[in-house]
Amino acid sequence: MSSQNLPMTIGVEEEYQIVDPVTRQLSSSADLLFAKAQRQLGEHVQVEMQLSQIEIATPVCDTLADVRKEVARLRGEMISLAAQSGKKLLSTGSHPFSRWQEQRITPKKRYQLLEHDYQQLAREQVICGCHIHVGVDDQELAIQTMNRMRAWLGPFLALTANSPFWVGEDTGYASFRTEVWSRWPTSGPPPVFASWNEYQELVQALISAGCLEDTTKVYWDIRPSGRFHTIELRLSDACLTMDETIMVAGLARALVQSCYKQVVQNIPTPVVHPDLARFAHWHAARYGLSHTLIDVIARRALPAQRVIEQFLTFLQPALEIVGDWESISSLVQETLQRGNGAARQREVYRRTGCMEDLVDYIIEETEQGIR
């Protein structure tokens, strides 16, 4: 299958945390920062659940070179605007030590309704992710593609885990953000759907029963976007460096393309029991790349590096078609050698024993390659 017949467009959403550079604590400054940013970036900047968070969204991109250019531009603009306001930005799944109890919900109707409905779950939502949209126009093909993507969520999450600390404690998890988020309804791995109609019927039933307000409140790790003709991957922590964001975008598009190709070629969907899928998801969040990962198709635990190699092998044809194999495989190998964001954060804290020094490290990583 040529690249002309594969999903190609990519959009990236990155959520950042705003901090005071003196105390290194979270700073509820998004209202001030957003007003300035919107004048320069327009629709490409948005507020988030907490006033200590802010989000950028790239335009639709056709190549990873376009993604890199736009992420660099938007991340760089936000870093500069934060500096003008005496603040710094962190790109990480969770702040190492700030307390969720001291944060403020953004005074916007959407978030106020979420707090009303979900109470403490919303108040504890002091976490940041990186979401990737890959364009798929045909809704039926999108659902069948999603069904096949479920088998690879574990290695995807392990590579991008970047939230080991929570309220000043080492949680023992590579991605504690995943555990905070997993308590929400319709989070985690999605079900398998026989068709687009079955998906619509379930979502409509959830809306009719009052479980969801609308389709944008479906929070699975993979979902058809409620706003665009895309498949959205939502399971990654916010990435420390821009390079890691590019890695996530490249892997996400290649995963969509590889599974889309299986649909077109009528290759059966792998049978993955939902409980095994959920356990593999938890296991990846717990250990990241430091232990084993669950091969949900073979139904066994294997060394993490071996599962990542299987993942890359599966994606290689798609990456080669668009000319991204060398760059993405190199970034994955670098992550295996240096460690994911969680491992690197732990190493800094082990070496310094100081949470403020760790925040400074995250700031440096967030700004890497921007200036």
Please name each of the domains of the chain with its CATH number. Answer: 3-367 (3.30.590.20)
> In this predicted model, what pLDDT tens digit does every residue of 82-115 receive, in sequence order?
999 999 999 999 999 999 999 999 999 999 999 9
The CA distance from 200 to 365, in Å, is: 41
Return the structure tokens found at 233: 């991957």
Torsion over CA of 169, 171, 177 and 180, rounded to 10 degrees?
-90
- Cβ–Cβ < 8 Å for 47, 35: no
The CA distance from 57 to 115, in Å, is: 24
Percent of the chain with pLDDT over 90: 91
> In this predicted model, what pLDDT tens digit does every residue of 317-359 receive, in sequence order?
999 999 999 999 999 999 999 999 999 999 999 999 999 999 9
pLDDT by residue, tens only, the chain of 371 residues: 556 678 899 999 999 999 999 999 999 999 999 999 999 999 999 999 999 999 999 999 999 999 999 999 999 999 999 999 999 999 999 999 999 999 999 999 999 999 999 999 999 999 999 999 999 999 999 999 999 999 999 999 999 999 999 999 999 999 999 999 999 988 999 999 999 999 999 999 999 998 888 888 899 999 998 788 999 999 999 999 999 999 999 999 999 999 999 999 999 999 999 999 999 999 999 999 999 999 999 999 999 999 999 999 999 999 999 999 999 999 999 999 999 999 999 999 999 999 999 999 999 999 997 76
